[in-house]
Amino acid sequence: MKKLLFLFVLLSSSVFAAGNVESVTLVKSTQSWDGSSLPAYPKEAPEISVLKITIPAHTTLPLHKHPIINAGYMVKGALKVVTDENKTLQLKAGDALIEVVDRWHYGVNEGDEVVEIVVFYAGTKESVYSIKK
């Protein structure tokens, strides 16, 4: 039994010692980037979706809103996000954000580079990601 325990401790310590594992919180909040409080999660069974969204250079997205909570991480490029209340957010590669929920907004890629953003949606099987105006 002592040999088995020793082997477990040895294997466990070597797994955690392999490499320099690091954890950095990129964004954490109860509010979206414009300061609005996030809504409560739905009572149905949750469904998490992760999407990689690519926006070509010199592209303006249509006015839209997200009915569910979502957060994103900018992989590359730069994106300006503007709400219908004219609140503006400038994002660049490496930025993370908690998106506005049920607020009309649009994004603009004013640069010469493609924008890549990974977006995490927290909804249900019936949830839609975006609604266009």
| CATH number of the domain that residue 45 is part of | 2.60.120.10
pLDDT single digits (tens) 17-47: 557 999 999 999 999 999 999 999 989 999 9
How many structural domains is the chain composed of? Answer: 1
Domain that holds residue 41: 27-132
Does residue 6 fall inside a structural domain?
no
pLDDT at 7 over 80: no
Does residue 46 fall inside a structural domain?
yes
DSSP count for the chain of H helices, then E strands: 1, 10
Structure-token pair, residue 64: 């839209």
Does residue 59 fall inside a structural domain?
yes
Does residue 13 fall inside a structural domain?
no
pTM: 0.81
Does residue 22 fall inside a structural domain?
no
Q: How far is CA 46 from CA 15, 24, 124, 131, in A?
A: 32, 25, 5, 20
Does residue 111 fall inside a structural domain?
yes
